Amino acid sequence: MAFIRHPKDFYAGLLFIAFGVAAIFIGSGYALGTAARMGPGYFPRILGILLLALGGILAVRATRLNGVPVTAFKWRPTLVVLGSVVLFGFIVEHAGLFVSTVVLIVGASAASHEFRWKEALASGVFFALLAIAVFVLGLKLQLPIWPPALYGPH
């Protein structure tokens, strides 16, 4: 594929096109409606068309601009981030939203070669407070904020 000068943009364009086709295909089973009275299929189809256009622009642009080659896929960071998310899911009921969010952020941050404990912990606390504000206070989800063991017997 010597005509592809910017592989990252080309593959991103193909990915956008694939999601656009999927959105149009999924949305085709729903009524379209009109711009004034949108049906349930209106948004997926419009989004799919926009994704197709953006993907096409990126793919064509990748044949004209020079870019760096795609590097080899790194499994370790992917597995560390996915493991952090899975761990969050397992411990959120037992450790509470605050503790499990901090563990998630610090754990996922460890996937980077630029990992720093203080920054990761500060980010974890910030995002834990944000998660509590959004999900517990704002959306009224029934999630324990702190480990239930701190509350004592029910």
CA nearest to 19, candidates 61, 54, 60, 59:
54
Distances (CA, A) of 123 to 13, 43, 104, 129: 32, 34, 11, 10
* pLDDT tens, residue order, the chain (154 aa): 567 888 889 999 999 999 999 999 999 888 888 888 888 888 999 999 999 999 999 999 998 888 887 788 889 999 999 999 999 999 999 999 999 999 999 999 999 999 999 999 999 999 999 999 999 999 999 989 999 887 766 5
In 3-state terms, the chain is what percent helix, strand and coil (to 5)? 65, 0, 35
The pTM assigned to this predicted structure is 0.64
The residue written with tokens 């029934």 in the block is: 142
